[in-house]
Structure 1
Amino acid sequence: MSKSKSRQVFIGVCVAPALILLIVFMFMPTFEVFRMSLYSWGGFSNTQQFVGFDNFKLLWNDMTFIRSFQNSIFLIVVVAIVTFAFAVFFAAILTKENVKGGNFFRIIFYIPNILSIVVIAGIFSAVYDPSGGLLNSVLDIFSLENLQQMWLGDQKIVIYSLAAALVWQAIGYYMVMYMSSMAAIPPSFYEAASLEGASKIKQFTSITLPLVWNNIRTTLTFFIISTINLSFLLVKAMTGGGPDGSTEVFLSYMYDQAYGNSTFGYGMAIGVIVFLFSFLLASIVSRITKRDVLEY
């Protein structure tokens, strides 16, 4: 066997296990989700009735699904904007300013990201407790009793309470990613800008932000997918979709339909919509944020 042939065989042997796992645990389940979305099936019987696109037609008249769609969009947009604003701000402060105990703050900010989402749900459930929770207690100390709320019981504000938990969990992770990019920017760029009379804000918008933009663009795409997944876990652990369905999101409603109401085919139709929506939104964000890469 020639050297070139043996090299190809070696590469094939190394790649084959990963390729097999990818096909078995990614491609085949994804295909099965698409296939089952065309059937009416309870999930536990042997009877599967082909209904075509009827499951998808029902979705557009399902007000709970529409509400879960709106909640998911809200969390993706609002949590993304707030998270990235704080992450970039704190990354710039800890990287470019001589903050005493900078390493300590990095650790503190990153801790929420290593916690289980169930632990985070427990922490914020205690914070939002209307009777003895931290939030209402602090408001009481400052004589702001009129601002005290049923943070997880009021349909108008409960989605904002969940958004705050998601922001708290994510800031540290993205902050550390941006810090690594900012640390690689040559100090001479800022020195030259200072000599030209540029303010700190001008340096940030003209030097820091453009040079880390490619990193921000990549993390935005990742953030969309992770928010869809984490919002499901947080909703299940904190509110169960309540009160009165006001915190239902894509995946929580899909789970309820597929495994709670024994309408597996309908649940898979929701899964298909989530799958297509995720990739469509990620593509749109990637397209909108695309710009020439600045090199230094």
Structure 2
Amino acid sequence: MQNKRSRNIFITLCVAPAFLLLVLFLVVPTVEVFRMSLYQWGGFSNTKEFVGLENFKTLWHDMSFIRSFQNSVLLIVLVALVTIVLAIFFATVLTKENVKGNNFFRIIFYIPNILSIVVIAGIFSAVYDPSKGLLNSILHGFSLDSLQQMWLGNQSIVIYSVAAALVWQAIGYYMVMYMSSMAAIPASYYEAASLEGASKLKQFTSITLPLIWNNLRTTLTFFIISTINLSFLLVKAMTGGGPDGSTEVFLSYMYSQAYGNSTYGYGMAIGVVVFLFSFALAAVVGWVTKRDVLEY
């Protein structure tokens, strides 16, 4: 009995610091965001006016917020689909095929993930430069001058330019995660499938994909949250939300309202919507992709 009590005290003392940090830096700020969303406050004055749900009512008629919402959803869907498809493709090639310099390619693909978002923004800003950028230079080299664009100045395509940078940054990270799952699948499964006459595609859809499905679900949920966060950082460093708000996303618009326009309470209302949307979308994705876990 004494040993059990001592063990419980020891576990409590070990967990207490982490729990305290969680409460101070996650729970309390989150509650504060919800509380401040009910006030009209500039952020720096001593006067706060309780307005209830007025900030949220204003939100649904704010076309700039609706545009940022559309941009965020577009990035989440587009970047997630392209990144995960390419990550699975490259992971399959590097894991199942005898590629010369396999480890070299793993390192090369993973490098973008360890770069600062500011560095990535600088790289792609140089690539998209209309006069001396790599992309327009390549198009000129292939006599495709008609396809040259102001990649960060054209409102109709700039959001896709940002999406390309997000895809480039994320592929290596998810590729490595999928490679670790694929490497754990017994080779005997593929040998048996080959003897039965199954094609490479059939082996992938019948063996590889089902056995990495749980990892795929986890990364997809994680990807939704990370895209919301990273899109804000990349937009702030790359376009500043322009031109004319065409790359404004959830968090960049929240930041501009809370700290740029001195409408802190309104910005916190946007934060509440982002918080609820993120968890709701993650829950829906988890429910849609749920299936029995296959063991081997």
Q: 1:123, CA displacement in angstroms?
A: 0.1
Partner of 1:89: 89
Distance 1:63 1:79 in 2: 24
Q: How does 1:39-188 map to 2 (within 5 A)?
A: 39-188=39-188
Distance 1:172 1:25 in 2: 30
- Could you tell me which amino acid in structure 1 is paired with residue 99 of structure 2? V
Distance 1:6 1:189 in 2: 49
Q: Identity across aligned pairs (percent)?
A: 80
Distance 1:14 1:204 in 2: 44
Q: 1:4, CA displacement in angstroms?
A: 1.1
* TM-score with structure 1 setting the length: 0.99
| Partner secondary structure for residue 212 of structure 2 | helix
Q: How does 1:254-273 map to 2 (within 5 A)?
A: 254-273=254-273
Distance 2:260 2:295 in 1: 52
Partner of 2:3: 3
Flag structure 1 segments of 5+ consecutive residues without an equivalent.
none
Distance 2:225 2:154 in 1: 27
Deviation digits for residues 158-202 of structure 1, max 9, x if unmatched?
A: 000000000000000000000000001000000000000000010
Q: 1:5, CA displacement in angstroms?
A: 1.0
Q: 1:288, CA displacement in angstroms?
A: 0.3
Q: Does 1:235 align with 2:241?
A: no
| Partner secondary structure for residue 46 of structure 1 | coil
| Partner secondary structure for residue 44 of structure 1 | coil
- Could you tell me which amino acid in structure 1 is paired with residue 44 of structure 2? F
Deviation digits for residues 69-94 of structure 1, max 9, x if unmatched?
A: 00000000000000000000000000
Runs of 4+ off more than 4 Å = none
- Could you tell me which amino acid in structure 1 is paired with residue 239 of structure 2? T
State which drifts further: 5-14 or 107-116. 5-14
- Could you tell me which amino acid in structure 2 is paired with residue 73 of structure 1? V
- Could you tell me which amino acid in structure 1 is paired with residue 36 of structure 2? M
Q: 1:135, CA displacement in angstroms?
A: 0.1
Q: 1:3, CA displacement in angstroms?
A: 1.1
Q: 1:141, CA displacement in angstroms?
A: 0.4
Distance 1:198 1:7 in 2: 55
Distance 2:176 2:24 in 1: 34
Distance 1:71 1:241 in 2: 11
Q: 1:96, CA displacement in angstroms?
A: 0.3
* TM-score with structure 2 setting the length: 0.99
Q: 1:279, CA displacement in angstroms?
A: 0.3
| Partner secondary structure for residue 143 of structure 1 | coil
Q: RMSD in angstroms over aligned alpha carbons?
A: 0.6
| Aligned length in residues | 296
- Could you tell me which amino acid in structure 2 is paired with residue 294 of structure 1? L
Partner of 2:224: 224
Q: Does 1:282 align with 2:278?
A: no
- Could you tell me which amino acid in structure 1 is paired with residue 260 of structure 2? G
Distance 1:252 1:139 in 2: 32
- Could you tell me which amino acid in structure 1 is paired with residue 235 of structure 2? V
Partner of 2:27: 27
Distance 2:286 2:226 in 1: 16
Q: 1:220, CA displacement in angstroms?
A: 0.4
| Partner secondary structure for residue 248 of structure 1 | coil
Deviation digits for residues 266-296 of structure 1, max 9, x if unmatched?
A: 0000000000000000000000000000101
Distance 1:295 1:129 in 2: 50
Partner of 2:244: 244
Distance 1:18 1:177 in 2: 27
